[in-house]
Structure 1
C-alpha cells in the first residue's frame, strides 16, 4: 500500500471579534497556554543562548514540543516558529509555522482582527498530519477568539 499524495502545507484563518491590540498581546509562544485549551503549560526553556527563544509546549495529552521562535515582527505583526524536538517523536521531519495578524480597518468587521496560521511541513508528513494540524489550528483560533474577547 502506498502513501496518499497530499499537500504539505496548511493554512487556517479567522476573524476575531476583538480589537487588534487585544489579540496581538496574546501572540507570544510562552503565553499560548493562557488561551489554547489543548495546552496545559507553555514555558521558556532555560539554558539557551540569549539570541534563541525556545518554548516548551506541554499538551493536555502529555505530548511535549520544543518550539523555536524563528522570526518576530512587531511592525508586520507576525511570528514564525519551528518545532525543534518532540516527545513522543513526530512522524515527520520538520514544520515551520507562521501566525500573522491584520487589523480590520473598514467594513462590517471594522475594529476586529483577521488572523492566519499557516504551517509548512517536510515532505514526509502524511495526510493525517495535515488534517490534525488543520483541526488543531481551528481549535486554537476559536480559543484565541474567546480569550481576546475577554480582554
Structure 2
C-alpha cells in the first residue's frame, strides 16, 4: 500500500548576488556549470529546431533528457519537463519551473529570490518527492556558490 503524498515540491533560496548574475546560470544546457551533481549538460543533437532538448548526465550515471517548455527573460523563469530517463523513471511525468526575483529592499536588498518547483504526476511516491526536494536544495546551494563568484 502506498502512502498518500503531495505530488508537488517547492524549494527556494535567497542568493546573495544580483538577479542578472543568478539568471545568467539558468539555462538548461549550462546547469552542469553550477550543479555539482551533474557531470555534463548539453543540447541533444538531432532534436527539432523548434524544440530545445538538453541531456543532463548525472555523476551517479542517471541520464535525463529535459525539454524546455517555456522561457521568459522578461519574467525570469524557465519551465522544463523530463522526456526520457535512464534508468527509467518510477512516475509518468514532472513539470518543473525555476523563477528568479530581484530582492529590492530590506536586509537582503541586492540579492535574488529563487524558487524551484516540481509538479509530479499522481503516480509519484513519497520517495520521489523527497528526492526531488533534496536535489533542488543541493542545486540551489550550488547555484548560490556559482552566482556569488565574481
Give the TM bin, normalised by the shorter chain. over 0.9
Q: Residue 84 of structure 1: CA displacement?
A: 0.2
Matched position secondary structure for 1:114: strand
Q: Residue 49 of structure 1: CA displacement?
A: 1.0
Partner of 1:121 in structure 2?
120
1 CA distance for matches of 2:39 and 2:18? 26
1 CA distance for matches of 2:52 and 2:129? 26
Structure 2 gaps of 5+ residues are: none
Partner of 1:89 in structure 2?
88
Structure 1 gaps of 5+ residues are: none
Partner of 2:103 in structure 1?
104
Matched position secondary structure for 1:133: helix
Matched position secondary structure for 1:23: helix
Partner of 2:21 in structure 1?
22
Q: How many residue pairs are counted as aligned between the two chains?
A: 150
Where does 1:128-147 land on structure 2 (aligned, <5 Å)?
A: 128-147=127-146
Where does 1:37-56 land on structure 2 (aligned, <5 Å)?
A: 37-56=36-55
Partner of 1:13 in structure 2?
12
State the TM-score, normalized to the length of structure 2: 0.99
CA RMSD in angstroms comes to 0.4
2 CA distance for matches of 1:12 and 1:126? 18
2 CA distance for matches of 1:22 and 1:76? 15
